[in-house]
Structure 1
Amino acid sequence: MKLDIYEHFHPDEREFVDRAWEWVENAGQYHETKLTDFLDPRQIVIMNSLVNRHPDVHMRLDGGYEGAERCRALIAPDYRELDNEDMKLKVLHIDSMDQKFLTLEHGDYMGSILGLGIKRSKIGDIHVLDDGCHTVVCEEISAFLDMNLNQVHRIHVQSEILPIEQLRTGKISLETLDITVASLRLDGITSDVYRLSRSKVLIPIRAGRCRVNWKPVEDPSSQLKEGDVVSMQGFGRFKVLEAGDVTKKGRFRVKIGKFV
């Protein structure tokens, strides 16, 4: 690994960079093909960057539908045709029609799946539907999930494994919030969104538990901009929908969309 590669990434990302570069080198030098688990958007950026550094390697990304946030990557020598390769994707259909007094949300489904001991990297996008949920999963764990997932939150559910062609996608639900802040600093906006004091927000940011566009950011003074997605461990995530309008008192009007 050349040291100049590290300069482009956060220190916390080096472990993934090392693994990803090994996949690329193995494809280019030893003609190996690697199908990864699901990558988050930041890992996809890193993967693209590394693949582009090697002239004899290319990659296919697939999350089950166009616009998927989390995707599996297939890394291979550039002479190999990837369009018709099986990306080993399945749909876990969770039927929660019995719910009467409780509305299940994205976090409920994900928590129940991860509670079975499944790694997050084995799970793609989760789509909450009126009659339950469709979750994109790695084929190799689909049978295990189908057999063992029988409860989400406190509601009994039934599951079924479907081919990826039967995936139904749900609309992303955002709870909008209008705030005014003195600046577009990360600590100021997250403080208002999560309703925490500025001093309490600084702790997770400086500890590396805050990400902007899936990249760790430890500088509280980092400036946010329209379109940025911010997440803080244990507090969920939000998107900056609008930013820039200034009040008569010189404060910034910001429209936030909180993922629910």
Structure 2
Amino acid sequence: MKLDIYDHFHPDEREFVDRAWEWVVHAGEYHEVKLTDFLDPRQAFILQSLVNRHPDVQVRLDGGYEGAERCRALVAPDYRDLSQEDMGLKVLSIYSGDQKFLSLEHGDYMGSILGLGVKRSKIGDIHVLEDGCHTVVCEEISTFLDMNLTQVHRIHVLREILPIEQLRTSQVELELQDITVASLRLDGIASDAYRISRTKVVVPIRAGRCRVNWKVVEDPSYLLKEGDLVSMQGFGRFKVIEAGGMTKKGRQRVKIGKFV
């Protein structure tokens, strides 16, 4: 099947489109089964779109719990029962007796794991808990992490590998912020969200460092809407919670939530 869908995706996504289409073709034509690393929601969407183009292929997405953001995918011929397949998921439980440990944040755990040379694609969602952290990881690197992750942000930690059934999840915390903007342009809202000038926020957007709903957006004038998730490399993420209502001066009221 000749791919005619490049126009639907950003040029930076073509490499992944090619890889994903290869998984689909091998499953449909050669009856192969492919278990991927963790995919972000945009990659999962692309893969699902390609699977839908092939009548003899199916995909299962699993990140260890319902509502997971990052998931592994199992691409297989449509006659296989994927419900009982092993998705290769483990839980890396991190804990410590140090009181300073309780102040560690998501980025601290992520930085320490990636600092070991582990690829981001091997790590699923990270859940910071009151007494530690549970991270979903690919089974094939779980032993390596258990042996080598000894510190998080210079704090000595203990580790334990648990079955995925023992995963404890955390609630996402949002720092709410009410702003007024002239329009729902990306650069205007991002400027207020990150508390930097519009001139400065335009630079990473045009450099391809901004994603809206996990898709690269390079146009500063892109119009956001309720529910959109914006992430900018080096600045963090925020979500447009509400967009509506006008001030007496004709500006729009917007409620955003920054991920903390």
TM class by shorter-chain length? over 0.9
Give, as a single letter, the amino acid of the residue that structure 2 aligns with 1:21: W
Once residues 39 and 216 of structure 2 are traced to their aligned partners in structure 1, the CA distance between those partners, rounded to angstroms, is: 15
User: In the alignment, which residue of structure 1 is the partner of 2:175?
Assistant: 175
User: In the alignment, which residue of structure 1 is the partner of 2:197?
Assistant: 197
2:113 is the counterpart of 1:113? yes
Specify the SS of the correspondent of 2:199.
helix
- Deviation, 1:102, is 6.2
- Deviation, 1:154, is 2.4
Once residues 206 and 2 of structure 2 are traced to their aligned partners in structure 1, the CA distance between those partners, rounded to angstroms, is: 28
User: In the alignment, which residue of structure 1 is the partner of 2:166?
Assistant: 166
Once residues 204 and 245 of structure 1 are traced to their aligned partners in structure 2, the CA distance between those partners, rounded to angstroms, is: 29
Once residues 92 and 3 of structure 1 are traced to their aligned partners in structure 2, the CA distance between those partners, rounded to angstroms, is: 39
Give, as a single letter, the amino acid of the residue that structure 2 aligns with 1:79: Y
Give, as a single letter, the amino acid of the residue that structure 2 aligns with 1:80: R
Q: Judging changes above 3 Å, is the alpha-carbon distance between structure 1 residues 49 and 28 closer, same or farther for their aligned structure 2 residues?
A: same
TM-score (norm 2): 0.98
Q: Could you tell me which runs of 5 or more consecutive residues in structure 2 were left unpaired when the two chains were aligned.
A: none
Provide Cα deviations, 1:154-173, integer angstroms capped at 9, x if missing partner. Answer: 21110100000000001111
Once residues 3 and 29 of structure 1 are traced to their aligned partners in structure 2, the CA distance between those partners, rounded to angstroms, is: 16
- Deviation, 1:85, is 0.3
Is contact 2:102-2:131 (8 Å) kept? no
Structure-to-structure mapping, 1:212-227, within 5 angstroms: 212-227=212-227
User: In the alignment, which residue of structure 2 is the partner of 1:135?
Assistant: 135
2:53 is the counterpart of 1:59? no
Q: Could you tell me which runs of 5 or more consecutive residues in structure 1 were left unpaired when the two chains were aligned.
A: none
Specify the SS of the correspondent of 2:54.
coil
- Deviation, 1:248, is 1.1
Structure-to-structure mapping, 1:61-100, within 5 angstroms: 61-100=61-100
Specify the SS of the correspondent of 1:100.
helix
Number of paired residues? 260
CA RMSD of superposed structures (Å): 1.1
Is contact 1:97-1:132 (8 Å) kept? no
Give, as a single letter, the amino acid of the residue that structure 1 aligns with 2:60: R
Tell me the percent identity: 82
User: In the alignment, which residue of structure 1 is the partner of 2:253?
Assistant: 253
Provide Cα deviations, 1:49-74, integer angstroms capped at 9, x if missing partner. Answer: 00000000001010000110000000
Specify the SS of the correspondent of 1:219.
coil
Once residues 216 and 2 of structure 1 are traced to their aligned partners in structure 2, the CA distance between those partners, rounded to angstroms, is: 25
Give, as a single letter, the amino acid of the residue that structure 2 aligns with 1:162: L
User: In the alignment, which residue of structure 2 is the partner of 1:186?
Assistant: 186
- Deviation, 1:200, is 1.0
Give, as a single letter, the amino acid of the residue that structure 1 aligns with 2:64: G
TM-score (norm 1): 0.98
Structure 1 window deviating more from structure 2 (150-159 vs 136-145): it is 150-159
